[in-house]
Amino acid sequence: MDRVLLILPSATYRAPDFLAAARGLGVTVTVASERRAALSEAMGERALTLRLSDPAVAAEQIAERARETPFAAVVGVDDQGVMAAALGAERLGLSHNPPGAVARTRDKAAMRRALAKAGVPQPRFAVLPSGADVAAVARAVGLPCVIKPLGLSGSRGVIRVNDAEQAYPTVERVRGIVAVAQRSPEAPLLLESYLPGSEVALEGLLRGGRLEVLAVFDKPDPLEGPYFEETLYVTPSQLPGGVLAEVEAVTARAAQALGLREGPVHAELRVDGERVSVVELAARSIGGLCSRALQFGAGVSLEQVILRHALGLPLEDLARDSTASGVMMIPIPGAGVLRAVEGQQEARAVDGIRGLEITIARGRPVVPLPEGDRYLGFMFARAASADAVERSLRAAHARLRIRIEPPAPEPVGAR
């Protein structure tokens, strides 16, 4: 029986869906993570602890385990594991993306340089080293501009500034977010010109360097800043056919420019009239629980598509289910401690709603973007049209009552 190594970082939401997909395919799984979380402990000898912070070491650990238990595929589920997956698969002679290409997707400056060299439409950009004249760089890039860390994901630390005076304090704030993420606060940042227009997300699969588009999501809520918290994803896209074709063509050019050849890609693009520009491109599938908004063929999940491709199994029907669908990433309205999410039963009763999952436990601290790194939960809908999906998600969200209280003050003298 084929065995797949699934690299599931401890913070991922996606373990249950990938494990269910593997069971559905009759595939044996070894789970790898950076620490022995509860999931890994439950899998006993089928668990592998990897040093994901050092992908080269992780690749050696994968190769060592493979000498005892051969793998037919290595799949990195989220950003933290894609480099280890590429290097590990390369060591084992398995289907993989070139590690250098994957590295470019994990470094926003390297990505921008590769796209610029290939002439792929994207924002103007500059790398901001520590100690640089922030206002001067911002003026050179063009205002308004967007300041972002090179290595964080999910819009964490991404902030728009409208004038040069805002630039310096914003850079200091972003560096503070980087430090909390346990990265060097002195690392370079990226400044990009702000791109007007709407935003879409493309979910695709590369096979031998050729992009197959699985879905294009519209993002109905405007993403204009100062922060870029994503909320609604709805498919099929309502863009005109010619613009959709350009979205697909620009994504394919971007993947080629980065050197990606195999496996899932998730692209974020800005659409301004007929002009399409690349915001990001990741060598992984859509994050969080958002993949539950997608079905292919006879109820095939996105995770099954990814595993089938990695294992070289047939992929006969990649057509998305024709029913419109969507997901809401439930935003965190403020910082504090989550006390309750009330109204869940009423939200689930809204016509078209197919699921609601709160992913932060009561009593846990919550932090909104740009400092935060997660959403309150996910809500899913299916309907006859994209407009109906959007209405269902908004109506259900309006029924939720989110109670967040300030954290208890520290006792006097605690420090």
pLDDT band at 40 (very low <50, low <70, confident <90, very high): very low
Closest to 93 in 3D by CA, of 59, 49, 48, 68: 59
Evaluate whether residue 378 is within a structural domain.
Answer: yes
Cβ neighbours of 405 (radius 10 Å): 11
Structure confidence at residue 315 (pLDDT) = 87
239/311 same-domain check: yes
225/323 same-domain check: yes
pTM: 0.93
Last residue of a domain, one of 193, 224, 249: 193
**Residues in contact with 119: Cβ distance below 8 Å, sequence separation at least 6, in sequence order:** none
Among residues of the chain, what percentage have pLDDT more than 90? Answer: 86
Q: Are strands 3-7 and 73-76 parallel, antiparallel or unpaired?
A: parallel
Does residue 270 contact residue 277 with C-beta atoms inside 8 Å?
yes
Lowest mean pLDDT among 38-52, 108-122, 146-160, 386-400: 38-52
Q: State yes or no: pLDDT of 39 exceeds 50.
A: no
| CA dist., res. 298 & res. 321, Å (int) | 8
Structure confidence at residue 299 (pLDDT) = 81
Q: State yes or no: pLDDT of 45 exceeds 70.
A: no
Evaluate whether residue 223 is within a structural domain.
Answer: yes
Each residue's pLDDT tens digit, 81-129: 999 999 999 999 999 999 999 999 999 999 999 999 999 999 999 999 9
Evaluate whether residue 83 is within a structural domain.
Answer: no
Host domain of residue 158: 124-193
184/206 same-domain check: no
How wide is the angle at C-alpha 155 spanned by C-alphas 343 and 183, nearest 5°?
A: 120
267/144 same-domain check: no
pLDDT band at 11 (very low <50, low <70, confident <90, very high): confident
341/241 same-domain check: yes
Evaluate whether residue 45 is within a structural domain.
Answer: no
Last residue of a domain, one of 193, 227, 252: 193
Alpha helices in 48-205 (DSSP H): 55-68, 79-92, 99-105, 108-117, 134-141, 164-180
Range 270-284 average pLDDT: 97
CA-to-CA dists, residue 303 to 19, 22, 71, 156, angstroms: 9, 8, 18, 25
Q: Is the preceding peptide bond at 411 cis, omega within 30 degrees of 0?
A: no
Evaluate whether residue 97 is within a structural domain.
Answer: no
150/185 same-domain check: yes
Range 312-339 average pLDDT: 90
Closest to 91 in 3D by CA, of 124, 47, 120, 55: 55
Does residue 4 contact residue 310 with C-beta atoms inside 8 Å?
yes
| Beta bridge partners of residue 128, listed in sequence order | 189
Q: State yes or no: pLDDT of 37 exceeds 60.
A: no
Q: State yes or no: pLDDT of 333 exceeds 80.
A: yes
How far is C-alpha 187 from the geometric centre of its chain's CA atoms? Answer: 22
pLDDT band at 327 (very low <50, low <70, confident <90, very high): very high
Range 257-272 average pLDDT: 98
Evaluate whether residue 396 is within a structural domain.
Answer: yes
Structure confidence at residue 264 (pLDDT) = 97
393/363 same-domain check: yes
Evaluate whether residue 236 is within a structural domain.
Answer: yes
238/284 same-domain check: yes
Q: State yes or no: pLDDT of 259 exceeds 70.
A: yes
Range 300-310 average pLDDT: 94
| CA dist., res. 40 & res. 19, Å (int) | 12
Q: Considering its fold, how many domains does the chain have in total? A: 2
Q: State yes or no: pLDDT of 224 exceeds 50.
A: yes
Evaluate whether residue 311 is within a structural domain.
Answer: yes
Q: State yes or no: pLDDT of 41 exceeds 80.
A: no
Each residue's pLDDT tens digit, 123-141: 999 999 998 999 999 999 9
Structure confidence at residue 35 (pLDDT) = 80
Which of 115-119, 291-295, 410-414: highest mean pLDDT?
A: 115-119
325/236 same-domain check: yes
| Domain CATH number, residue 391 | 3.30.470.20
| Domain CATH number, residue 163 | 3.30.1490.20
142/239 same-domain check: no
373/244 same-domain check: yes
168/246 same-domain check: no
Last residue of a domain, one of 193, 221, 238: 193
